[in-house]
Chains A and B, each alone.
Chain A
């Protein structure tokens, strides 16, 4: 998991279709060089998860993903004892002594690995993606602290398991709540925002290669204009790409008022936002 320089990161990411800007390339390089987890925050659909996937692809690492949600707990994030199997083992043991059975049921065989433990025990290069960290409860952050600062997991019955090979950790967050200071302090922080029109044009061209340059340029500028309006939900990069694909699928190679009117639903998903955009774009300047 080593890069020689930020420029190296940039080239390799670009080769797999992820176009980073300076800040992204440098931060990814630093996260790898310092061996620290990378916390990526930003609005939905700007490529946070894609970044983790792209890093996994360019380094040839396996991607282990922990999707966070409300109510996620230790047994589903870290490890769990397979108690059904343990029950069977106890019932099958017959006249064996209790102490022998007791030692036996807390072994590897009865341990169910969950993403965090799996990522730590892998000996191949690994990218650990902890997705939508803000959706999980605050207690889960406490659970992550040990894993992220020392790359180790303590299982009372087995002892402490230390990472054979440090995984490259990416945490993503939509900032629906503020993550704790303790967690942030252990991570490098990258705020991903909507890209400049120039970068967005390049992203559209990379993702939708069939599109003509002029159309991609126009699309990117138009989306930037939409984002400047006071909308409930600004269009994301993912939606811009969807829009480009929609235009291609409909065989439209121009983006005039009628086309926009017909396809606006691809990028704006609130009725009031669409109304507002129509009014602002058509009205006198």
Chain B
């Protein structure tokens, strides 16, 4: 019964973490458990993953919960120790050992080592308080081993070899940090209960990460998602275009085809419909507070360039400049962003965003960019730094365009707080909350 209870608890925790595990899938998992050797933990993990986790985005949450529900070890055999001084010979010994394991890349040894150091140094408050991974990582500071590791494998530093070696060791050090984190969570779970630790530890999948709160690593991972996402969206859009209303009857082809069925037109043929391709004008706030979001949206619209007849992009802070030239086809994404930030003339005086002035400049200089065929897309948090919002101009621009949309990366509950004038702008152009990848993808699909 114990195994069944554990299974039920695990499935419930997965559901709580947002994985859609159906009843049938839970049963499949039980059947799978009957077919494998339960003592082999990795087999067990693979069996659960194959039956319950059907989207790669959920895999990280799954792995974390699996480690909690089916821990690799129980209890603690190590004796808690005090934090060693930095010149303690024992500490030097530990660092040497870690260095050796990182060099060899032996996963089992690394796991055992992580467990050992967490047991020894993981408890706060001189060995009686909570468990912390931060404390262990700081004592060992594995990052500082890098120079020694590189020296050990390279005859001379620099160039390609160092790049490759550095990347290998960075990967292993990260793995070590993960293992320490997992062991700390395991020990916490033993003392305070699995459910509590699980609830605290699950991170949202990448597509749910808030743009405004994304870490640097998140942003890099998000940028890597752009092209796959653009491909997915493009496929869906072409499919939708093809499947909608069919075009006019192609008389010639229908008659020709009917010849093979004795003159009876069994299948009719239609002319392809003219694809609907809007022109797109993007106005984006490039100030620091929202730049991550704006860059990301710009990149996505440019990755989807084929879906639009024409894309023009403008960036503003308190000045405004056209940035279309930085996003030529085939240009590297990171470079395009760097060049946009450095070269475009978007700062006028203060370097704080001034929506009113930026819209004014846009209408003066580039007003003719907006035609009845254009979709106008404005990206920004509508925080005007208490300047004039220049609503009339936005109303005129939105009125001239075929569609106008405003994407705001802030959650709806923060609109109108402080210097935000979101609802004033929302009254003249429809404003959408766009906090994460999922919302962005949904919006882009309605746009094209």
Contact = CB atoms under 8 A, between A and B. Distances in A.
A, B bound: yes
Interface of A: 5-6, 22-23, 26-27, 29-31, 33-34, 36, 39, 41, 70, 83, 87, 137, 175-178, 181, 184-185, 187-191, 193, 197-198, 218, 221-222, 224-225, 228, 230, 232-233, 256-257, 260, 270-273, 275-276, 280-282, 284-285
B50 A30 contact: yes
Contact of A30 (B32, B158, B171): B32
B246 interface: no
Interface stretch (B75-83, B112-120, B125-133, B326-334): B326-334
A29 B20 contact: no
Contacts of A230: 220, 223-224, 333-334
B239 A137 contact: yes
Given A26-B47, A191-B59, A197 B239 contact: no
Contact of A257 (B47, B159, B239): B159
Contacts of B55: 178
Given A230-B333, A272-B331, A225 B223 contact: no
Given A27-B50, A271-B330, A176 B24 contact: no
Contact of A176 (B158, B167, B220, B231): B231
B228 interface: yes
A233 B226 CA distance: 11
Interface string B220-258: 100110011001100110010011000000000000000
Q: Could you say which interface size class chain B belongs to?
A: 35 or more
Contacts of B332: 272-273, 275-276
A26 B228 contact: no
Contacts of A31: 50
Interface in B257-292: 261-262
Given A29-B36, A177-B236, A22 B333 contact: no
Contacts of B25: 185
B162 interface: yes
A181 B20 CA distance: 9
A270 B171 CA distance: 26
Given A177-B235, A221-B164, A230-B334, A33 B35 contact: yes
Interface string B375-386: 000000000000
B164 A225 contact: yes
A41 B50 contact: no
Contact of B163 (A33, A70, A225): A225
A221 B40 CA distance: 29
A44 to B, nearest CB: 10
A222 B224 CA distance: 19
Given A26-B46, A29-B36, A176 B235 contact: yes
Contacts of A34: 28, 31-32, 35
Q: Is chain A's interface secondary structure helix, strand, loop, or mixed overall?
A: helix
Contacts of A175: 56, 228, 232
Indicate the member of B24, B32, B165, B242 with the most A CB atoms within 10 Å.
Answer: B32
A221 B168 contact: yes
Contacts of A218: 164
Interface in B4-60: 20, 22, 24-25, 28, 31-32, 35-37, 40, 42-43, 45-47, 49-51, 53-56, 59
Nearest to A31: B50
Given A33-B35, A282-B160, A272 B330 contact: yes
Nearest to A39: B54
B166 interface: yes
A184 B58 CA distance: 14
A256 B161 CA distance: 9
B326 to A, nearest CB: 13
Interface string B135-169: 00000000000000000000000111011111110
Contacts of B165: 221
5 contacts: A6-B40, A26-B43, A189-B53, A228-B167, A275-B332
Nearest to B227: A232
A233 B227 contact: yes
Nearest to B329: A272
Contacts of B31: 34
In the A-B complex, list the 4 residue pairs whose CB atoms are closest, starting with the nearest. A26-B46, A33-B35, A184-B54, A188-B50
Nearest to B228: A175
A178 B62 CA distance: 19
Interface in B169-202: 171
Nearest to A36: B28
Contact of B166 (A83, A275, A285): A285
Contacts of A23: 42, 45-46, 49-50
B24 A185 contact: yes
